[in-house]
Amino acid sequence: MSIRNTPFVSGEYYHIYNRGNGKHEIFLDDEDYDRFIKLLYVCNSEKKFVFRDSITDIGIDAFDFEREEPLVSIISWVLMPNHFHIFLISHRSDLWEEDYNPITEFMRKLSTAYAMYFNKKYGRSGSLFEGKFKSKHVEQDSYFNYLFAYIHLNPIKLIQSDWKEKGIKNPQQAREYLSEYKYSSFQDYFGKERKEGKIIDMKNITKEIQNAHIKELFEWIAISP
């Protein structure tokens, strides 16, 4: 396992992200998004598994997979055509060793499983992602709040590429688009009941934080520069 400049620490929040090699798209259709979303759930486990053997051949829904205690607690996530963002924390102090930690193990399983699926489906070989995944330590409350909003606002660039520089031209359209965007945890925080909600560990996000995030996010959309 390669050594990071800043080692991960148990009980700390991290922003994890990566993109396609050469900035190429890593999600080409709904099936690709669906597979990665399911892997977000099933790879978050100490168990070893092969998706075909553990899910497909048995004929179960991926979200019914008995994964036992997860490696990490995912706070929010988003998938975009050529990259992804995951906001997470790991409380599994029992698993941390000098050459092993739950965050790296989760990302290894997730990246490997998806790359194998993608390469087989599209008849390609070689690295799918742009090197090892990137990470930022979330040390301050201000970055915590910013990251929450940033992850959930990310899909707006698909309908307005310059929204960060020029502000959101149509706040109502932006809210509606985010509410319908299936490939993030936005819907799970905004009251929609769906099986993908099992990816999120709501125990680590109090109702006060959830409600504040909802309020601040919609206010930010309305008054963006």
Domain extents for the chain? 13-223
Least confident of 70-74, 115-119, 187-191: 187-191
β-strand 83-89 against 73-80: which pairing, if any?
Answer: antiparallel
Q: Which of 216, 88, 81, 222 is nearest to 158 (CA)?
A: 81
pLDDT of 223 reads: 60
pLDDT of 89 reads: 93
More confident call, 79 vs 222: 79
Report pLDDT digits (tens) over 36-73.
Answer: 999 999 999 998 877 877 787 778 889 888 888 999 99
C-beta separation of 69 from 46 below 8 A: yes
Average pLDDT, the chain: 88
Report pLDDT digits (tens) over 135-173.
Answer: 999 988 888 888 888 899 999 999 999 988 888 889 889
C-beta separation of 110 from 43 below 8 A: yes
SS3 for 11-59 is CCEEEEEEEEHHHCCCCCCHHHHHHHHHHHHHCCCCCCCCHHHHHHCCC
Confidence of residue 74 (pLDDT cuts 50, 70, 90): very high
pLDDT of 64 reads: 87
C-beta separation of 213 from 185 below 8 A: no
Q: Assess whether pLDDT exceeds 50 at residue 212.
A: yes
pLDDT of 225 reads: 46
C-beta separation of 23 from 86 below 8 A: no
Taking the domain 13-223, which CATH number applies? 3.30.70.1290
- The CA-based dihedral angle spanning residues 126, 29, 114, 95, taken in that order and rounded to the nearest 10 degrees: 140
Question: 3-state class of 225 per DSSP?
Answer: coil
pLDDT of 167 reads: 85
Kindly report the backbone phi and psi dihedral angles of residue 167, in degrees, each rounded to the nearest multiple of 5, phi listed first.
85, 165
Q: Assess whether pLDDT exceeds 90 at residue 3.
A: no
pTM of the predicted model, to two decimals? 0.91
